[in-house]
Amino acid sequence: MLAKNLLHSILFVLVGFAAGALSCFRLGVPPLVVLVDTGAWLLFALPCNLATGIIFSLAMPYRINPGRITRPAGAQANTLPAMFIQLGVLGVGASVFWICWSLKDRWLPVPIFLALALVALLFWMRVLHYSDDNANQRRDSLIATLMKGG
């Protein structure tokens, strides 16, 4: 799980830098407060996504068949809950930004997101710590899913 989280973190950072670079190229460099606010929100969003990824991987495993990778995947059970998690993280971010900016304090989101990031980091570490136990409890269903023939 830690290796999966490391790969997802690297991809998260690469996509973030690519999106930021393209935005700066197209729209110009944003003010410092926007960069710091966004960075603080990303520090909150990443551990949330990593923790839910671990939970979904163990609760609803899915085997990718390399021979069928070009075909569209069928309905997966974790797609809808994952979308709701993403909407929740985006909703928290939008709410904090909206409240703070309506109060005319554009720097206030930084400490709020850093506090939320600390909570999310502790949650992720707890989920990661117990992932071995959870995987061991679901060992039979995980093996059955991963060993299933094409």
**Tokens 């070009």, residue located:** 70
Q: Which of 63-67, 95-99, 128-132 has the highest mean pLDDT?
A: 95-99
pLDDT at position 90, please? 95
Structure-token pair, residue 94:
């939008």
Rg from Cα positions in the chain:
18
- pLDDT above 70: residue 62: no
Residues 22-61 have pLDDT tens digits of 999 999 999 999 999 999 999 999 999 999 988 887 777 7
pLDDT at position 81, please? 83
Q: Can you say how many angstroms the Cα of residue 72 is from the centroid of all Cα atoms in its chain?
A: 23
CB neighbours of residue 119 within 10 Å: 12
pLDDT at position 129, please? 86
How far is it, in rounded angstroms, from Cα 54 to Cα 88?
Answer: 17
Average pLDDT over residues 129-144: 73
pLDDT at position 3, please? 85
Residues 66-125 have pLDDT tens digits of 665 565 555 466 578 888 999 999 999 999 999 999 999 999 999 999 999 999 999 999
Please, what sign has the CA dihedral across residues 93, 117, 18, 128? negative
| Confidence class for position 145, pLDDT limits 50, 70, 90 | low
| Confidence class for position 4, pLDDT limits 50, 70, 90 | confident
Q: Is 40 exposed, middle or buried (0-12, 13-18, 19+ CB in 10 A)?
A: buried
- Rounding to the nearest 10 degrees, give the CA dihedral for residues 136, 142, 144, 146: -130
For the chain, give the longest Cα–Cα distance: 58
